[in-house]
Structure 1
Amino acid sequence: MDISLVAGLLALGAAVGFAAGMLGIGGGMLLVPFMTMLFTAKHFPQEHIVHMAIATSLATIMFTSISSVRAHHARRAVLWRVVKLLAPGILIGSWVGPWIGAQLNSSTLALAFAVFVAFSGTQMLLDKKPAAARELPPAPGMFAAGGVIGVLAGLVGAGGGFVSVPFMTWCNVKIHNAVATSAALGFPIALAGTLSNIYFGMKVPDLPASSLGFIYLPALLVISLASVSTAPLGARTAHSLPVKTLKKVFALLLYSLASYMLYKAFG
């Protein structure tokens, strides 16, 4: 792996760790578009680039999530009861998501990523006030919600925060608690999705050297080292920002990344 790629991945990892801590998004919303750019510049097989970016993104979230959630837990912001209710569905959905992705070509996968991210950004930017009586559903509903979050996160290589944060705020969970809880949900999403991407990627020929299934191991190592160091700083920043500012930052970030992936889908 050449020095320019290492430098790019280090910078990306630092930015992703900060964003993961601040927004509870696991970093995948940043990682996938930028890794797609880096892998394209390094002339990886075009038909595998988006799949590899998504798989490597999910694998890094295992490490980023742990670092981020420790910082949020120290502030008692993580709703562990919610994590326990959502996690079973998330584990199943996160295995299924990469399987769906393996059936799609790179352009379709990039388009799916863009649509999901733009929708989440719109929900956050509109900042519609939920009904005062609305609350999180009972256990069966939480299992179903976890399944949907897991499938979408596994499909597009994210920590699930682009779905789970809007879902929780829609159910009257405070934004800071939603971000912190989403960070905790990133680990089961990443674990199941990583195992799935290894399993389904092992059957694919012509992947670059140093790949484990769809996961590009050098990128996983460099990004994880950088992101773990900046995630706690992002978490501290999140708790110092007002709610409306945090929502706007979240939404604008998602829009910018959706735009790039649309370009990748149709360019």
Structure 2
Amino acid sequence: MVETDLLLLIGILLLTGIIAGYFAGLLGVGGGFLMVPVQYLLLVQTGIDPTFAIRIAFGTSLAVVFPVSCVAAMAHQKRNAIDWHAAIPIGLAGLAGGFAGGTFASHLPVDILKPLFGILIIISAIRMMSGTPECRGHGREGFCAWTLAGVIVGILSGLLGMGGGIILVPILLLLFNLPIHRAVGTSSACILFFSFGGISAYIYHGFMIESLGTGFFGYIDILQWVILTGAMIPFSRAGVATAHRLPADRLRQIFATIMIGVGVAMICILP
């Protein structure tokens, strides 16, 4: 890679990290919904096979999500915006689900993973814009529902390289009737567990692929991880501060609009 190409790649990753970090804090998501399409396109442009490129994008995205979510969760906790009664069972169940999802992704072709990523994001956006039913679990029923939600979201998180917030926030809103700001904060805490499970799977299965060469730790691209993490962490804190100043309806609109745009791009535009 010539120097100009390397500088362009770094610049694109920095900009992606800034935007993804801001929305990670703002919306309680990991930022993978934006990072994955950009990473995938850059990897394909550098000559990496699309099937490996999508797995590297997923694995690297989750590796970035973990430290960024740590920062975002601490910021939300200072505002008492995390429901730990929900976050702990969802997160622990999602850790196992994340490993399972990452394992599935390591054996699926790009023709399945890429459209699945886009479709899931669009469905989540549509659900976000629909009404909120009167449904919230309590006691044992609530614990079982949280655990089931954690397993499902964890699998999807690992399978599609997202922190899981883009799926979990609508679930917390629509099924558990959490207020938007509390749903965002709780999601940030759960993402720590989801991403750790997925990261473990992508590292383990990536080490079995000798053709990846140097610069990778399993399916994690070290250069992309360093740049994206460094850019995202400070801007995730800014996103958290903004989230607690915006009205709930505005947060819903921002969330859903971005999700639909990214989902369509992943299905129809990217190679």
Q: Which TM-score tier does this pair reach, normalised by the shorter chain? A: over 0.9
Pick aligned residue for 1:258 from 242, 249, 263: 263
Give the conservation status (yes or no) of the 8 Å contact 2:86–2:143.
no
Contact kept, 8 Å, 1:58 with 1:158, in 2: the verdict is yes
Q: Distance in 2 between matches of 1:104 and 1:250?
A: 28
CA-to-aligned-CA distance 1:56-82 (integer Å, 9 cap, x gap): 000000111011112111111111121
Distance in 1 (CA, whole Å) between partners of 2:129 and 2:150 is: 23
8 Å contact from structure 2 (residues 91, 192) kept in 1: no
In structure 1, what is the equivalent of residue 191 of structure 2?
186
Number of the residue aligned with 2:120: 116
Give the secondary-structure state (helix, strand or coil) at the position aligned to 1:206: helix
Which runs of 4 or more aligned residues in structure 1 lie more than 4 Å from their structure 2 counterparts after TM superposition? none
Q: Is 1:207–2:212 an aligned residue pair?
A: yes
Return the letter of the residue paired with 1:251.
A
Cα distance between partner residues in 2 of 1:17 and 1:129: 27
Root-mean-square deviation (Å)? 1.5
Number of matched pairs: 264
Query: 1:107·1:264 contact (CA, 8 Å) conserved in 2?
Result: no
Letter of the 1:134 counterpart: R
TM-score for the superposition, normalised by structure 1:
0.95
Of 212, 221, 225, the match for 2:226:
221
Alignment of 1:113-192 (within 5 A): 113-126=117-130, 128-131=131-134, 134-135=136-137, 137-170=141-174, 171-192=176-197
- How many angstroms apart in 2 are the aligned matches of 1:88 and 1:235? 24
| 2:100 alignment partner, one of 92, 96, 101 | 96
Whole-Å Cα distance in 2 between the matches of residues 46 and 36 of structure 1? 8
Per the alignment, residue 238 of structure 1 pairs with: 243
Alignment-derived partner of residue 38 in structure 1: 42
Retained in 2: the 8 A contact 1:120–1:163? Answer: yes
Distance in 1, Cα, partners of 2:237 & 2:51: 36
- 1:208 offset after TM fit, Å? 4.6
Q: Percent identity among equivalent residues?
A: 29
Give the residue type in structure 1 aligned to 2:10: V
Residue type matched to 1:35 in 2?
A: Q
Unaligned runs of 5+ in 2: none
For 2:59, the equivalent position in structure 1 comes to 55
The 5 A counterparts of 1:14-33 are 14-33=18-37
